[in-house]
Amino acid sequence: MQESGEMYLETILILSQKGGVRSIDVCEEMGYSKPSVSRAVKILKNGGYIDVDADGYITLTDEGKYVAERTYERHTVLTGFFRAIGVPEKNAADDACKIEHVISDETFERLKDYIGKSFGK
């Protein structure tokens, strides 16, 4: 999956925690145009990552939820780690957003282990 797909799924996950999610909600949250979001929704639906009901509400499939939660975990852990070592909040979140898509599973797991041992989490 490409980085953009992960970003959409992560956004849908976060929005779904607040209630029902439609394409317009994704547009507003991400600052993307309706045509861009419509294209992404179509790709994610065809890929089996989301379902869209007759009223336009988007839900994550099991696979979509797995990818979204994995991406969100990486974002929150990396942001927290960067903040813990003194990186300002905005930089920490921005850097985490970039790294969350490219860090390997093995490196991320080792980082989580290190954080747990070093920061008592």
> 68-119, what's its fold?
Diphtheria Toxin Repressor; domain 2 (1.10.60)
Domain with CATH 1.10.60.10 in the chain: 68-119
Q: What are phi and psi of 104, to 5 degrees?
A: -75, 155
CATH number of 3-66: 1.10.10.10
Could you read off the pLDDT tens digit of each residue along the chain, which spans 121 residues?
Answer: 687 889 999 999 999 999 899 999 999 999 999 999 999 999 999 999 999 999 999 999 999 999 999 999 999 999 999 999 999 999 999 999 999 989 999 999 999 998 887 776 5
Answer left, alpha or beta for residue 19, where phi above 0 means left and psi between -120 and 50 means alpha: left
The whole-angstrom separation of Cα 59 and Cα 45 is 10
Domain with CATH 1.10.10.10 in the chain: 3-66
* H-only helix segments in the chain: 3-16, 23-30, 34-46, 62-84, 89-99, 105-119
